[in-house]
Amino acid sequence: MGRWPTGCGNGGQCLADLLVRPGHSVRCRQRSAPRCRSQTPRHQSRPYLDSGRACLMAALRLLLGIDYGTKQIGVAVGQAITGQARELCTLKAQNGVPDWDKVQALINEWKPDAIVVGLPLNMDGTPSEMSARAEKFSRKLNGRFGVTVYTHDERLTTFEAKGERMARGGQKGSYRDNPVDAIAAALLLQGWLDEHPELLNV
């Protein structure tokens, strides 16, 4: 996997004006891994593809993490071989309406083996309105682009991301002007990778 690519989207440029909305599909059209049945509990890295643990171990190398929002969407990238995730960029959204061509450009550039979308569940672990939208978005990603999509509990990641921003030198201005969505995406993707240490041995 070597060094990290440097861009986000077309020609290495950040897709800062990406408009995304939430959007369950069937099998991945881009992968030839065997079909397996997943036994993963609800809300715990549940893939929108009937690929289970054996399929997961066989195929994953590079992943994108997404912190879904109706106005801004954080994107992170992670490598299974190192078990590390880092923030990539923050994409704009307007009430969840996507520019699917730009989503396609992002996927074309990074060619992820899977995408991990954060689920903003309620603090008691029950689904929220936003987690339902994030799940719908996950299904859209899988259905439109044929990429395996996993969901991951992202409770408190935004709070942790704000703490991370402060630790790096403080917050200047509002979080609207200086969003933490990409940091939150990196935290949720790192959490998913940490739950799958077996990937490091693939």
Sign for the CA dihedral angle at 86, 91, 97, 100 comes to negative
Supply the pLDDT for residue 105: 84
Residues 6+ apart with CB under 8 A from 15: 8, 9, 89, 91, 102, 105, 106
Domain ranges for the chain: 40-201
pLDDT of 175 reads 44
From first to last of its 202 residues, the chain has per-residue pLDDT tens of 444 444 455 443 333 333 333 333 323 434 433 333 334 444 455 565 434 455 555 568 999 999 998 888 999 999 988 899 999 988 888 887 667 777 788 899 999 999 999 998 888 889 989 999 999 999 999 999 999 999 998 876 654 545 555 555 555 544 454 568 888 999 999 999 988 887 765 5
The CATH class given to the 40-201 domain equals alpha beta
Report the pLDDT value the prediction gives residue 195, as an integer from 0 to 100.
Answer: 87
pLDDT value for 92: 83
**d(Cα 7, Cα 188) in Å, to the nearest integer?**
20
Are 19 and 94 within 8 A, CB to CB? yes
0.75 exceeded by pTM: no
pLDDT of 154: 86
Nearest-CA neighbor of 24 among 49, 52, 51, 53?
A: 49
- Token representation of residue 87: 């923030």
Q: Where are the alpha helices (DSSP H) in the chain?
A: 53-59, 100-110, 129-145, 157-167, 181-194
